[in-house]
Amino acid sequence: MNKQLLTLALSAVFFISSSTAFAEDEHDHDNDGHHETHQHVTEAEHDEHDHAAEANMKSSDHSAHEHDEQEGEKHDDHKGEAHGADEHGEHDESGVSLSVSQTRLADIQVQVLEPRKMDYQVYAPGEIKANGYTNYLVSPRVESVVLKRHVTLGEHVEKGQDLVTLFSETVADAQAAYRVAQAEWQRVKLLGRKTVGDKRYITARSEFEASLGKLTAFGLSEQAIKELPKKKSTVLGVYTLTASTSGAVLSDDFHQGQLVAAGGTLMEVADEQELWVEARISPQKTLQLPEGTQALVKVAEGTFQARVAQEAHIIDQDSRTRVIRLLVDNSAHRLHPGMFADVFFQFKTDAPVLAVTEDALMRSADGDWTVFVEHEAGKFESQEIELGRSLGQWREIIGLEAGTRVVTKGAFFVASQIAKGGFDPHNH
């Protein structure tokens, strides 16, 4: 029994072992097959990948070829555009070539430089003023009261003509002292120096001369002083101021009965035969105006000849200008102080010079003065120059030869062409 059980158990173990080995063999066989299948699929996929890469390389070569052809076409188009730009101007850093249409549109004008003697004018605003050397102020020398006026504003007066009568206590005292001194001097002079002695003689003469001088200083005329001793009934203190010279009354700002302080202005009388013209020039302007320089003075519709008389050596503090004084003949009495005038100074150069208008001058990037020179038709180049004298609307230039063709109008357009890289006025 026990043997039978042992035999059955061994048979079962062998059966189980055999089954397990068989199962493992089947599993290994399946794995080998699967590996061979996977290897076959991988090789196929690799072949397909190589084929696709080769196709992509061919496609890339084709695209590169097309790109090169397109770039070549663009380059050709660019060359064509550059060629077309020649019609509207070429430029470089110092010059530019302009087409005929550009030159005409910008109104560019060119002038050949030729040396010549310049006859030119320089303008300055001015004002007609009374001649300060021939006019005078009518003024009481002591405090006085106005009793009567004898002339009116604008009236022409003659030398010695009565202007205004005044009263002053100080003048009354001086007149009384003069009468006494004059009478004493007449007696002493009649008796003689030997009779009266040196002291009395000198004292009488000195007192008379002092009293005479005081009345003269107060403004009494020589005739009025002479008549003072003769007119015993004359009210002392009343005196009349007369015209020292012929002229016109320019101002009379006073009233009868007015108390006027010593030195106060009653009237201004001016000889208008020759008047001043004060011209004002910027102090920065270099302009030589020696005495005698000729000028034209335009006032309203009239034109008058004038000449420089003098120049102030200081700058006017109010207008910050340089004052030039001229003399103008006014014998026809057409000019009057206070009128505004346009002054044109007349000049001529002694020798021929090269000059251009101010519009032809331009500043370079470094601040130097330049002009644009046309070496060939339509081709302009910047040329540095030095500035000489200011000749009115012209300016003397140094650094160019006679015969050079210079842009005198439209220089700004040429400069903009160079600065902006060939700006096209047609907006092309």
The residue extents of the domains of the chain are: 90-117+352-420, 122-130+271-348
3-class secondary structure, 70: helix
**Residue-level pLDDT, tens digit, the chain, 428 residues:** 444 444 444 444 444 444 444 444 444 444 444 444 444 434 444 444 444 444 444 444 444 444 444 444 444 444 434 343 444 455 555 578 888 888 888 888 999 999 998 888 888 999 999 998 888 899 999 999 999 999 999 899 999 999 999 999 999 999 999 999 999 999 999 999 999 999 999 999 999 999 999 999 999 988 889 888 887 767 899 999 999 888 899 899 899 999 999 999 999 998 888 999 999 988 877 777 888 889 999 998 899 999 999 887 788 878 888 899 999 999 888 998 899 999 999 888 888 999 998 889 998 888 899 999 998 888 899 889 999 888 878 889 999 999 999 999 988 898 888 887 644 444 44
Distance separating alpha carbons of residues 354 and 118, to the nearest angstrom: 9
Over the stretch 273-288, which tens digit does the pLDDT of each residue have? 899 999 998 887 777 7
Name, in order, each residue with C-beta under 8 angstroms of 341's C-beta and a sequence gap of 6 or more: 125, 126, 127, 128, 277, 297, 298, 299
Predicted local confidence at residue 406, as pLDDT: 94
Looking at 154-273, which runs of residues are DSSP E strands? Answer: 156-157, 162-167, 238-242, 247-251, 259-260, 267-270
For residue 289, the model assigns a pLDDT of 84
Tokens 């100074």 belong to residue? 345
**Helical (H) or strand (E) element with 169:** helix 169-191
Residue 85 confidence (pLDDT)? 40
With b meaning 16 or more CB within 10 Å and e meaning fewer, what string describes 268-292? bbbbbeebbbbbbbeeeeebebeee
Q: Please, what's the b/e burial string for 193-222 (b: 16 or more CB within 10 A of its CB; e: otherwise)? A: eeebeeeebebbbebbeebbebbeebbbbe
For residue 325, how many other CB atoms are within 10 A of its CB? 18
Read off the DSSP letter of residue 242.
E
CATH topology of domain 90-117+352-420: 2.40.420
User: How far is Cα 30 from Cα 52, in angstroms, rounded to an integer?
Assistant: 33
Those residues whose C-beta lies under 8 Å from the C-beta of residue 237, and which sit 6 or more positions away, are 167, 168, 169, 171, 172, 175
What pLDDT digit, counting tens, does each position of 62-103 carry? 444 444 444 444 444 444 343 434 444 555 555 788 888 888
3-state SS, residue 249: strand
* E strand map for 141-245: 144-149, 156-157, 162-167, 238-242
* CATH of the domain spanning 122-130+271-348, picked from 2.40.30.170, 3.90.1300.10, 3.30.360.10, 3.60.20.10: 2.40.30.170
Distance CA 371, CA 382 (A): 6
Distances (CA, A) of 333 to 168, 248, 317: 37, 10, 32
Question: pTM for the whole thing?
Answer: 0.56
Four-CA torsion 283, 287, 291, 292, nearest 10 degrees: -130
Q: Map residue 239 onto helix, strand or coil.
A: strand
Enter the tokens of residue 322.
């340089």
CA distance 381 to 407: 10
What's 253-321 look like in SS3?
CCCCCCEECCCCCCEEEECCCEEEEEEEECCCCCCCCCCCCEEEEEECCEEEEEEEEEECCCCCCCCCC
- Torsions phi, psi for 351 (to 5 deg): -130, 160
pLDDT of residue 140: 94
pLDDT given at position 305: 94
Note the pLDDT of residue 94: 59
Could you tell me the CA-to-CA distances from 73 to 59, 66, 80, 85 in Å, in that order? Answer: 21, 11, 10, 18
In which element (H, E) is residue 348 found? Answer: strand 340-348
